[in-house]
Structure 1
Amino acid sequence: MLSTSCSKFVDGYEVSPNNPVKATGPLVLSSAELGLMSVYAGTPARTAGVLTQQLGGTADQMLAIDMYDIKEGDATNDWNNIYNNVIQPCNDIVAQYSEGNPHNKAMALVIKAMGLGVATDMWGDVPGQEGGMGNINGNFSPKYDAQKDIYAQIQSLLDEAIGLLKTAGSDVREVGANDLFFKGDLAKWLNTAYLLKARYAIHLTKKNANDAATKALDALSNVTNVGDLRATYGESYNENNQWFQFSQGRATLLRMGENLINMMKASNDPRLSVYAAVAPGGGYVGAAPGSENQNASELGTYMAGQTSPITLAGYVEALFIKAEANLILGKTQEAADAYNTAVLTHVQNATGSPAPAAFVTAYASETAASITKEKIMNQKYVALFAQIEAYTDWRRTGFPTLTPNPHNVLNKPAIPRRLPTDQNERLYNKNAVVTSDILKPVWWDE
């Protein structure tokens, strides 16, 4: 009798709540969010920055990218990060932790859409419906979906997320602090989902410009300045900004790019002093493609400060999309207004001060008669410094005008327009669609 009573008394208490034997949806969400941060502030962003000449690769693997010496094994870690640390945990949430947790599921769908977006924009055709499902259904050879279909999947994921975010009531297990981006703030997640719908709509301007613009503006009608999706960092070493950590551990590899530095110097851009550090010889100096100029300026505190936040999707981007979309549809005054607001907002965000009067007059006072696509995209290029979107924008619009590295290993006057298929996919996935030509445009860039 005593034995039975004791057994009932301790039933359930032998399991420590601080040492769970099974993950929860919110815990898995944290993992996926960390994976997304490392993608958007990691090698894909550095690659995009070098190829668009915002940055200069000056040694080792960054110099190889600068020289267009990009091989199929170079981005294996990034491919694995996207599918193993972003898409796979999001699939886990959908498969195992969705019941009673619609908001947690919605956040996972948004994150998955962003991870899938980077994969397809950098590689073209990629695993979509079957990607990241190996630990769930045992399929470790996922079929590749055409990029056109991947884009439809992204929009579908975002639509489903929006519907779930609008679901009344609370989750069985609230996300709260496990949501590293918004601490469970549904309004901010909803805002981000609509912004992403606009982002992926405007990417398709080469396919159908009017349709892309119309869909982008429709999504943007739901976007406000309620809060950007940002990666935030702490003061402990393992919590530091990723660009800062890269500069500390691999200081010789990367410098500011000559094209961006010269553009900002020519316009007396007030953001230059936070974008770039003063060069060893004084002033702000950019590394020309292939120059290996390690006396050029290092990244400044805006992107590479020890605790500087990094925007993954934000209101300034939304304003530039709004400007471009309105211009495509012939609404030039609306385009000018959105453009002016975008430039002024970003200067304030980056420097902490309003733009100087002379800069406002020269670069943020466009009218219906003066606004152009080149002006919009050039200023978006500056504002989206070291972001993957700048590489996507350059490929689909041709702005800013870039001169290929004349010393590149391809011996062709062209800048790479994609990454080659990952070598592990070629070797071990029988369903892989293999593309080795890095000058071949992805579907939306054709």
Structure 2
Amino acid sequence: MKLKIFSIITCFVLVTSSCDFDEDINVSPATPADVSAQAIIPAAQAGLAWVIGGELVRISGLFTQQMEGINAQQADNYRYLWVPADGDGIYFRMYNAVLQPLVIIAEKAEAEGSNHTLGMAQIMIAHGIGSLTDCFGDVPFTDAFGALDGNFQPGYDTQESIYTTIQDLLDSGITLLEGPAGNGPALGSEDLIYGGSTASWVAAAYSLKAKYYLRLSKRSSTAYSDAEAALANAISSNAGDFQLEFGTAPNESNPAYQFSRDRGGNIEIDDYFFGLLNGLNDPRREALLVEDASTASGYTITLNSQTYYTTIDAPVVMTSYAEMKFIEAEIELMENADTPAAEAALAEAIGASITKIAGSNDAAYVATHSALAGLADDAARLEQIITQKYIAMYSNGLEPWTDYRRTGYPNLTPVANGNNSFNLNGEIPRRLSYPDTEIQLNNANVPIKDGNLQTPLWWDN
């Protein structure tokens, strides 16, 4: 299944190319002039996993001290020196390799009458644009895909409107996937994530609804209740996690594996995260760290290709059962004031994470770190929940950074030398500055041009 990814990308280039050509030139009948919506799905899914499991994992890990940059751009980003040019890759890949293909899939699926494929595409578009707005704030969406019609300077949707769009897309995707398949080709084996299982996609959509409602905990009085309602139909076991599993062939490898193999000398495990795992004697330690008998702890901070998230066929996790239970624990504590229910959800969350990463649960560890009643107050209880979530969400996209911005936990001390012209107060960044290509080519529409990393996002106010 995964072997098709690169040939599918070639097909996508053929479909979307806007280059002029001479119609009199002979065209091989073996070269497709067009492809179906289903043919593009593997490339779009792999593209989303690459952005989330690559750049977004690294920037979240660097800002929240799960990783330390020790060389090149990663060393600058670790000390909060993020220049506009650093954002070009994220923008290009998310729009060009993810969102544009997904929009094409949606258009083709609608024309074909492939309702389930359309629903899947809408769910992935929601998570793609959601990931982008959680980095930059306002971003193009409504006008973002008009280049073939001559619109090279798209306007920006506000983050508030993007968040409405996310939920609308997820609701529409759920409706389509729960309804008839339609007259077009079915969603099937080309779906690298769930193999065409509509029930799994519906659960993933409800999970994303909960995730994005929770983002609004500082902004909306209904954020917790909205997220709680979505949880009722969300992912219900580790087996249903929304993730893409990579293969063992050279052209199937996980993005973290490729980075650790090719540029592993640029990043290592940060002392804070390393010390947290060691200090708690965390059972996930052996899977997340590299063992080294020559060190006092028995582990090294080296980031190489032999840990759970960096092996060649490691999954890129976009949301999970463990994350849903952490969300539930926070809701039970902060919305429902039900500490026993929060403890039960937290125990399930920690246990699910340990089982997934370490292979089996650790009942004693779970009992110790899910105990909330004896802590001083709800602030201390929330810190316990988010600190355990911080461990569990290592290498799970933007979650550690978004939770830090929402809650202030874990209680991190900003790195030394983090004060620079892009980050004047030296605190942990609240956003990424807009890409240099946007500032140069779409200047009239870019909402913030000064590159200040401390200007909060809409939901962070």
Look up the match of 1:39: 51
CA positional deviation for 1:186: 0.3
Equivalents in 2 of 1:309, 1:296: separation in Å?
A: 21
Secondary structure in 1 matching 2:290: coil
Per the alignment, residue 132 of structure 1 pairs with 145
Alpha carbons 2:40, 2:101 under 8 Å: kept: yes
Q: Tell me which of 303, 306, 316 is aligned to 1:298.
A: 303
Q: Which structure is larger by alpha-carbon Rg, 1 or 2?
A: 1
Q: CA deviation at 1:97?
A: 3.0
Identity of aligned residues (%): 31
User: Structure 1 residues 258 and 275 mapped into 2: Cα distance closer, same or farther (>3 Å)?
Assistant: same
User: Is residue 341 of structure 2 the alignment partner of residue 318 of structure 1?
Assistant: no
Q: Tell me the number of residue pairs that the alignment of Structure 1 and Structure 2 aligns.
A: 421
Say whether residues 1:389 and 2:399 are aligned partners: yes
C-alpha separation between the residues in 2 aligned to 1:19 and 1:183?
27
1:19 to partner: Cα distance = 4.8
Structure 1: distance between partners of 2:50 and 2:298: 28
Give the structure 2 partner of residue 431 of structure 1: 445
Deviations 1:180-229 (A, max 9, x none): 11111101000000000000000001112x41000000000112225111
Contact between 2:414 and 2:428, CA under 8 Å: does it hold in 1? yes
Q: Write the deviation string for residues 63-121 of structure 1: whole angstroms up to 9, x where unpaired.
A: 01112111000120110111111111121123333131111111111111111011100
Query: How do 1:248-267 and structure 2 match up within 5 A?
Result: 248-267=261-280
Q: Look up the equivalent residue of 1:182 and give its one-letter code.
A: Y
Query: Partner amino acid for 1:192?
Result: A
Cα deviations by residue, 1:381-438 (Å, 9 ceiling, x for unpaired): 0000023111111111000011111222526331111111111111111322234101
Q: Distance in 2 between matches of 1:45 and 1:352?
A: 23
User: Counterpart in 2 of 1:399?
Assistant: 409
Query: Which residue of 362, 365, 370 maps to 1:355?
Result: 362
Say whether 1:203 aligns with 2:209. Answer: no
* Cα deviation, residue 332, structure 1: 2.3
- Selected match of 2:342 from 335, 340, 347: 335
| Residues 279, 298 of structure 1: 8 Å contact kept | no
Contact 2:136 2:432 in 1 (8 A): yes
* CA distance in structure 2 between the partners assigned to 1:360 and 1:197 by the alignment: 27
Change (3 A) 1:143 1:366: same
* Alignment partner of 1:373 out of 378, 382, 387: 382
Question: Does residue 419 of structure 1 match 2:432?
Answer: yes
- The runs of 5 or more residues in structure 2 that have no matched partner are 1-26
Name the residue aligned to 1:217: 228
Alpha carbons 2:53, 2:317 under 8 Å: kept: no
Point out the more displaced range, 172-181 or 110-119: 172-181
1:123–1:442: 8 Å Cα contact kept in structure 2? yes
| 181-190 or 233-242, larger mean C-alpha shift | 233-242
**Counterparts of 1:246 and 1:284, CA distance in 2:** 26
Bigger CA drift: 192-201 or 34-43?
34-43
2:23 counterpart residue number: none
User: How does the TM-score come out when normalised to structure 1?
Assistant: 0.89
Bigger shift: 222-231 or 49-58?
222-231
Q: Structure 2 counterpart of 1:275, which letter? A: L
The alpha-carbon distance between structure 1 residues 336 and 98, as it changes in their structure 2 partners (threshold 3 A), is same
Over 3 Å counting, the alpha-carbon distance change for 1:279 and 1:61 in structure 2 is: farther
CA contact (8 A) 1:110 1:158 kept: yes
Task: Identify which range, 274-283 or 113-122, moves more after superposition.
Answer: 274-283
Looking at structure 2, the residues matched to 408 and 173 of structure 1 have their Cα atoms a distance apart, in angstroms, of 53
Q: Secondary structure at the match of 2:312?
A: coil
Task: Quote how far apart the aligned CAs of 1:364 are.
Answer: 3.1
* TM-score, scaled relative to structure 2: 0.87
Partners of 2:325 and 2:374 lie apart in 1 by 16
The residue that corresponds to 1:9 in the other structure is none
CA distance in 2, matches of 1:146, 1:139: 19
One-letter amino acid matched to 1:400: P
In structure 2, C-alpha distance between the alignment counterparts of 1:115 and 1:174, rounded to whole Å: 23
> What SS class does the counterpart of residue 454 from structure 2 fall into?
coil
**Pairwise CA distance, 1:177:** 1.7
Given that 1:235 and 1:307 are in contact with CA atoms closer than 8 Å, whether structure 2 keeps it comes out as yes
1:55·1:257 contact (CA, 8 Å) conserved in 2?
A: yes
| In structure 2, C-alpha distance between the alignment counterparts of 1:56 and 1:281, rounded to whole Å | 22
* Alpha-carbon shift at residue 283 of structure 1 (Å): 5.0
Cα pair 1:276 1:284 within 8 Å, conserved: no
1:211, 1:323 → 2: CA distance? 16
- The runs of at least 4 consecutive aligned structure 1 residues that moved more than 6 Å come to 368-371
Deviation at 1:369, TM superposition (A): 7.5
